[in-house]
Amino acid sequence: MQERSDEQLMAAVQVGDQVALAELVTRHHGPLLGYLYRLVGGDRQLSEDLVQETLLRVLRQGTYQPARPFKPWLYTIATNLARDHFKSAAVRQGWRGGDEEKTLLHLYDSTPGPEERALAAEQDSEVRTAIAQLREEYRIVVVLRFYQGFSLQEIAETLHIPLGTVKSRLSVGVHRLRAMLAPVQEGVD
């Protein structure tokens, strides 16, 4: 039996198929949690709350169109909820580290070998801090591209912006990250 696509599952959810909903949740909960966790600066409770709200909106919303790709639509909802949280609460928080982040990274990211993990751990805090310092429009594009593996077209669809804007924001974001991390790299060599 062939696995159903996200779009097929969502069409089934719209007619009340709870099994299809469970499959969508199982398929997307982990990656969505990892994305929101990075987007909101490492606040695990907030990212879990946003995942739950995103999934509730998926269930409640009648705006999904079966011809539309599901994944960009899902991440649009999640991104907008995160933005709304920070706008409504007027919250500005820095990145926090700790055991929770290591647990999430272990669960939701591909695990490198021990040597790679040791080297990455040395730079983890600096990278996290640098990403947090990016303006929101650059941070979202960088996280979607490099942490979630979205294509440039999927990012454009998710954020409802032109492909050229995605490319520009990604270029600027990566350039700014490199500039922020260059002093760190020079200190390591």
Give residue-wise pLDDT tens across range 41-87.
788 899 999 999 998 888 887 677 877 889 999 999 999 998 888 77
Mention the CATH class of domain 6-188: mainly alpha
Secondary structure E strands in the chain:
none
Two structure tokens written together for 27: 């398929």
pLDDT, tens digit, 9 for 90 and up, residues 132-183: 888 989 999 998 988 888 999 999 999 999 999 999 999 999 999 888 887 6
Query: Using CA atoms, how far apart are residues 135 and 167, in angstroms rounded to an integer?
Result: 16
Domain boundaries, the chain: 6-188
CB atoms within 10 A of CB 164: 10
pLDDT for position 89: 58
The share of the chain scoring above pLDDT 70, in percent, equals: 75
The length of the chain in residues reads 189
C-beta of residue 95 within 8 angstroms of C-beta of residue 131: yes
pTM over 0.85: no
